[in-house]
């Protein structure tokens, strides 16, 4: 996919355009949240952050705009979900695109990584729901689903017809449901166990319109080299920290997700960490605390905002960690 902007610039510009269209004073929103105005000129730092999540949720709540993410998705030049979707767009068929994307699941710019199930007649592309995504990061979660939906359509324009889309949150209401149905134009299911997009299995054989196998191989080779350089001479704990940090750029990370990214079982991960005299929770909290301090240093963000963004289920715990590390 040809892009004239970085992914983060595109998302920030889409947010700004959406606020202009809806009559929302984005600069006032940022100021009222206690964030500096410069955050709107630092796309590469702001967009892959929990502060962006908080801005989306604040706008959605204060301006009664539960379909905010769909407006943002409509303003994007192209879907911006990271390396997995880049390789999807360069693959030969939709089926190989899904398989190729699964190799880079840790690098989804979304609240969770996408997986797929295939039956005789239907494919279900899904991401696991969690309290973080379905409750605390609902707009970012919806933005990810909307972008994946747009990407699937772009792989074989005018040929793809979705069967249904599922959401891990309740129906947003009559007025907003209309926006949802207009955007997705298929059956919609709310309060589901996972966020999902389903379509006919025949679509797996469709040729990807922008396929470029040579460019795809070049990206995969370059990624493999970078991965070796990044992970060489690092023990399992350090590798775990790197992967957790990658996921914390967009949402959260669970033990099961980390094990998946490391291509081992949760039991194996737990055993390895026990041998290193550390637990997953300890590593996760350390990395969350590190990120919290970065938000303080870079943006002078209010502590209350940071704790509610990074550890909404236990804000006091994060406050304690920040004061004692």
Distance CA 139, CA 212 (A): 33
Q: How many residues in the chain?
A: 325
pLDDT < 50 regions, the chain: 1-3
- What is the pLDDT, as a whole number, of residue 4? 56
Closest CA to 248 of 131, 112, 155: 112
Closest CA to 161 of 127, 142, 188, 184: 184
| Residues 201-227 as b or e (16 or more Cβ within 10 Å = b) | eebbebebeebeeeebeebbeebeeee
- What is the pLDDT, as a whole number, of residue 53? 95
Round to the nearest angstrom and report the end-to-end CA distance of the chain. 44
222, two tokens: 């370059």
Sign, Cα dihedral of 88, 92, 94, 99: negative
- Per-residue pLDDT tens digits for 169-186: 999 987 888 899 999 999
Beta-carbon-side half-sphere exposure of residue 25 (alpha carbons within 13 Å): 6
- One DSSP character per residue, 122-174 reads EEEEEEE--HIIIIISHHHHHHHHHHHHHHHHHHSTTT--EEEEE-SS----H
State pTM to two decimals: 0.93
- For 323, counting Cβ atoms within 10 Å of its Cβ (0-12 exposed, 13-18 middle, 19+ buried), the class is exposed
Cβ–Cβ < 8 Å for 192, 128: no
Cβ–Cβ < 8 Å for 125, 145: no
Closest CA to 58 of 39, 33, 37, 40: 33
- What is the pLDDT, as a whole number, of residue 2? 43
Each as own residue / partner, the long-range contacts of residues 171-178 (CB below 8 Å, 24 or more positions apart, any chain) are: 172/66, 172/67, 173/66, 176/66, 176/67
State the residue for tokens 């630092």.
42
16, two tokens: 């700004």
Neighbours of 271 (CB within 10 A): 12
Number of alpha helices (DSSP H) and beta strands (DSSP E) in the chain: 17, 5
State the residue for tokens 């410069």.
38
Provide φ and ψ at 122, rounded to 5°.
Answer: -140, 150
Sign, Cα dihedral of 277, 283, 286, 290: positive
Q: Note the Cα 247 to chain centre separation in Å.
A: 8
Angle (CA) 30 171 74, round 5°: 50
- Per-residue pLDDT tens digits for 41-66: 999 999 999 999 999 999 999 999 99
């Amino acid at each position: 996919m040809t892009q004239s902007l970085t992914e983060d610039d595109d998302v920030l510009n889409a947010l700004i355009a959406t606020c202009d269209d809806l009559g929302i004073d984005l600069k006032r929103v940022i100021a009222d949240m206690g964030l500096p105005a410069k955050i709107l000129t630092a796309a590469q730092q702001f967009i892959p952050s929990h502060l962006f999540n908080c801005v989306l949720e604040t706008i959605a709540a204060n301006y009664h705009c539960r379909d905010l993410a769909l407006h943002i998705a409509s303003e994007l030049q192209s879907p911006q979900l990271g390396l997995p979707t880049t390789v999807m767009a360069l693959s030969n068929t939709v089926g190989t695109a899904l398989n190729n994307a699964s190799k880079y699941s840790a690098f989804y710019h979304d609240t969770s990584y996408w997986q797929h199930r295939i039956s005789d007649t239907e494919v279900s592309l899904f991401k696991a729901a969690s309290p973080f995504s379905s409750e605390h990061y609902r707009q970012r979660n919806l933005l990810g689903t909307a972008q994946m939906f747009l990407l699937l359509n772009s792989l074989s324009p005018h040929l793809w017809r979705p069967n249904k889309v599922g959401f891990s949150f309740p129906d947003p209401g009559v007025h907003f449901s209309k926006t949802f149905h207009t955007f997705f134009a298929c059956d919609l299911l709310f309060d589901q166990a996972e966020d999902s997009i389903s379509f006919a299995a025949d679509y797996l054989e469709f040729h990807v319109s922008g396929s470029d196998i040579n460019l795809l191989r070049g990206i995969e080779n370059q990624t493999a080299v970078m991965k070796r350089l990044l992970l060489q001479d690092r023990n399992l704990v350090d590798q775990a920290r790197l992967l957790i940090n990658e996921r914390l750029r967009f949402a959260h990370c669970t033990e099961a997700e980390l094990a998946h990214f490391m291509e081992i079982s949760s039991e194996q991960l737990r055993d390895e960490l026990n041998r290193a005299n550390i637990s997953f929770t300890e590593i996760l909290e350390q990395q969350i605390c590190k990120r919290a301090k970065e938000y303080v240093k870079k943006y002078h963000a209010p502590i209350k905002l940071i704790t509610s963004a990074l550890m909404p289920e236990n804000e006091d715990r994060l406050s304690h960690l920040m004061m004692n590390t």
